[in-house]
Copies of this chain bind each other. A is one copy, B any other.
């Protein structure tokens, strides 16, 4: 088994995070994980959804999309079809939950942060790249709120990053690309904090069921990969 980017089973793909990628959104990031490229923006609005009005807390939500030309075979445009697929809905709900876990919504105040993750090139792991990149966009939007003196201290409680892991041809592998993802037996997405707390685990047996030992091996790999990703986030955020 030869992996893309000459990787061993336990290696993640090269990661590149570009901050301030576009100029309008409050936070804007291009994240590249190997050949997967996602634009993540964070937009602040000074209101909250109806169910939260007057409760002195904020909200954070996410949407996800893929450019029609981002995939191997062109995907139909969801705006033209008139509805988002179940997969899209599932992913954007996951991104929202993952990032909310990193924010103290009370400290955010009565405002909403809207994250948008749009895949411009897909090669596996678009949902996990979205989460890892959206964290940086979120950070930059929060920094702007602080700079504008709208809030005093950051409501971000910890880093959040995500990675996929799977059993491919009997071997546990970290950070699957599209070819691995399409042919693996088991696929698991893990979201963790900088503190190594687990926020989300979603493991699915595509072919054969997996056992507890395989689950443990995959979680070990995921934890290591997320530590690397968070180190990259930290480094990128130190730069001005």
Which A residues have a C-beta under 8 Å from some C-beta of B? 22-25, 28, 35, 37, 39, 41-43, 45, 63, 65, 67-72, 74, 77-84, 86-90, 92-93, 97, 101, 114, 116, 118, 120-122, 188, 192-193, 195-205, 208-212, 215, 219
Contact = CB atoms under 8 A, between A and B. Distances in A.
B70 A63 contact: no
A137 to B, nearest CB: 9
A178 to B, nearest CB: 10
Contacts of A197: 205, 208-211
A126 B35 CA distance: 27
The residue among A37, A43, A122 with the most chain B CB atoms within 10 A of its own CB is A43
Contacts of A90: 86, 89-90, 93
Given A24-B70, A77-B63, A219 B209 contact: no
For the complex formed by this chain, how many copies does it contain in all? 6
A120 B67 CA distance: 11
Contact of A72 (B24, B72, B195): B24
Nearest to A83: B82
A78 B215 CA distance: 36
Q: Does more than half of chain A's interface fall in helix, strand or loop, or is it mixed?
A: mixed
A117 to B, nearest CB: 10
- 3 tightest A-B contacts by CB? A197-B209, A41-B69, A78-B79
Given A24-B122, A74-B43, A118-B67, A203 B198 contact: yes
B210 A204 contact: no
Contacts of A209: 101, 192-193, 195, 197-199
Given A65-B79, A114-B74, A211 B199 contact: no
Contacts of A67: 39, 41, 65, 116, 118
A11 to B, nearest CB: 21
A39 B84 contact: no
Nearest to A160: B209
A121 B21 CA distance: 9
A97 B198 contact: no
Contacts of A88: 79
Given A209-B192, A211-B198, A121 B22 contact: yes
